[in-house]
Amino acid sequence: MSELALYGGTPVFEKRIGYGRQYIDDADIQAVVSVLKSDFLTCGPKIEEAEQKLCAITGAKHAVLVSNGTAALHAACYAAGIGEGDEVITTPITFAASANCVLYCGGTPVFADLNPETYNIDPEKIEEKITERTKAVIAVDFTGQAAELGRIREICRRHHLILIEDAAHALGTKYDGIPVGNIADLTTFSFHPVKTCTAGEGGAILTNEDALYQKLTLFRTHGITRAPEAMDRPSEGGWYYQQLELGFNYRMTDLQAALLASQLDKLEAFGTRRKELVKRYDDAFSKMPELTIQKEIPQSDTVRHLYLLQLKLEMLRCTRREAFEALQAEGVGVNVHYIPVYSFPYYQKLGYEMGSCPNAEHLYERLISIPLFYSMTDEEANQVIAAVQKVIHYFKA
């Protein structure tokens, strides 16, 4: 067996491979350059063009582009009417923004444990957490796999809750044949560079409800409008506008929107390639008893954003940290998604207690994310597999 790079052996990768990266082609570059040469760097026609593309891809009635996925979640919570005293149920294994957005609105995030096989929020645990103060559920499509949206939607309908879907990972995914973006009351996306399509930074909220759409567009620009119905003083002239709500500047620029519109043209190809890479990984890692791979529910046709390995630590003579560092030394850009949100000092200070979601805490101790991105070659995927095999064989108990 060859020596681990961690202990002075030759690394599998000569040059380190990242865990995710954007793919930018000439069409993307031209799209951005053409905006630079145009009259509008912001508030121009590219915003609506990209919004229309998102509607066409998902079948949703409305899309509202915003500056990032966190702003999208904030806007969704605002539109859902989350405020003081409201509880919103979400998963602990997610990026902090999925819960922070509730706090921004004065509400209280409530964490429900996840399914230990799919890693998505467990609908039964959602039901256990519902109180008379519960107003909404934020279901996260973790790694790109759709949450159990059928059951979650049914629970929300029965308890009169708003369903927000944090689909930051799941652009291109379908649930029961329906594109994510056209299922929940409000669906949010992120277009950060490691996501399936990027705008540099960017986000969007999709909805089929006209009333929610109106709130989202107001929120994106300070609560300010020039809509004729808000023009209450006929003596005022063409300069006139009104602020109806307290919003933010959450606008995306046309530079970002042009890049996004161009990226969305490649979504099909991006998704196909990600699925091929996931299959290659699944084929290799399902044969390794020391690893568990994420279970897919049959309803989800998944465009995977992240690929996670779960270590069976009882079969290994190492900690997760040692395996992580050994893979890093082999040149594999590893990461961990995610630290349970309620374990952060900020949340602990708010009174959240460790032990409240045991499946999430158990899973967190064992997870490692490995590289997955569109432009990864088969050769690179094979090298990642070889590096994982090398490290796992070395530490096998």
Ligand X SMILES: Cc1ncc(COP(=O)(O)O)c(C=O)c1O
Q: Which structure tokens are listed for 161?
A: 């809750």
Cα 290 vs. chain centroid, distance in angstroms? 28
Please state, in angstroms and rounded to a whole number, the distance separating the CA atoms of residues 266 and 80.
32
Distance (Å) of CA 249 to CA 51, 53, 143, 270: 18, 23, 29, 31
Q: How many residues does the chain have?
A: 397
Candidates 77, 31, 91; CA nearest to 264 is: 31
Candidates 92, 86, 129, 100; CA nearest to 346 is: 100
70 sits near ligand X (criterion: CB under 6 A): yes
Residue 138 or 309 having the CB closest to ligand X: 138
Residue 207 or 225 having the CB closest to ligand X: 207
User: Phi first, then psi: what are they for 65, rounded to 5°?
Assistant: -80, 140
Residue 23 or 338 having the CB closest to ligand X: 338
203 sits near ligand X (criterion: CB under 6 A): yes
Report in angstroms how near the CB of residue 338 gets to ligand X at its nearest.
8
372 sits near ligand X (criterion: CB under 6 A): no
Residue at token pair 């395996």: 323
166 sits near ligand X (criterion: CB under 6 A): yes
82 sits near ligand X (criterion: CB under 6 A): no
Q: Which structure tokens are listed for 352?
A: 């959240």
Candidate segments 1-9, 89-97, 342-350, 373-381, binder of ligand X by CB under 6 A:
89-97
Residue 108 or 196 having the CB closest to ligand X: 196
Residue 98 or 173 having the CB closest to ligand X: 98
Please state, in angstroms and rounded to a whole number, the distance separating the CA atoms of residues 273 and 73.
28
Number of residues that bind ligand X (CB under 6 A): 15
68 sits near ligand X (criterion: CB under 6 A): yes
Report in angstroms how near the CB of residue 193 gets to ligand X at its nearest.
10
Please state, in angstroms and rounded to a whole number, the distance separating the CA atoms of residues 266 and 277.
17
Distance (Å) of CA 263 to CA 8, 193, 201, 266: 41, 11, 13, 5
Report in angstroms how near the CB of residue 19 gets to ligand X at its nearest.
12
Sign of CA dihedral 304, 395, 383, 332: positive
Please state, in angstroms and rounded to a whole number, the distance separating the CA atoms of residues 3 and 386.
13
Please state, in angstroms and rounded to a whole number, the distance separating the CA atoms of residues 140 and 235.
49
90 sits near ligand X (criterion: CB under 6 A): no
Residue 19 or 394 having the CB closest to ligand X: 19
Residue 274 or 390 having the CB closest to ligand X: 274
Please state, in angstroms and rounded to a whole number, the distance separating the CA atoms of residues 208 and 178.
14
69 sits near ligand X (criterion: CB under 6 A): yes
97 sits near ligand X (criterion: CB under 6 A): yes
Residue 73 or 385 having the CB closest to ligand X: 73
Binds ligand X by CB under 6 A, chosen from 168, 199, 327, 388: 168
User: Phi first, then psi: what are they for 203, rounded to 5°?
Assistant: -155, 170
263 sits near ligand X (criterion: CB under 6 A): no
Residue 182 or 256 having the CB closest to ligand X: 256
192 sits near ligand X (criterion: CB under 6 A): yes
Please state, in angstroms and rounded to a whole number, the distance separating the CA atoms of residues 63 and 44.
16
220 sits near ligand X (criterion: CB under 6 A): no
Binds ligand X by CB under 6 A, chosen from 90, 91, 94, 134: 94
Stretch 2-31 residues interacting with ligand X (CB under 6 A): none
Report in angstroms how near the CB of residue 97 gets to ligand X at its nearest.
4
Pairing outcome for strands 162-166 and 174-175: unpaired
Report in angstroms how near the CB of residue 93 gets to ligand X at its nearest.
10
Q: Omega of the bond prior to 241 within 30 degrees of 0, cis?
A: no
Residue 195 or 215 having the CB closest to ligand X: 195
Which residue is at the shortest CB distance from ligand X?
69
Interacting residue ranges for ligand X, rule: CB under 6 A: 68-70, 73, 94-95, 97-98, 140, 166, 168-169, 190, 192, 203
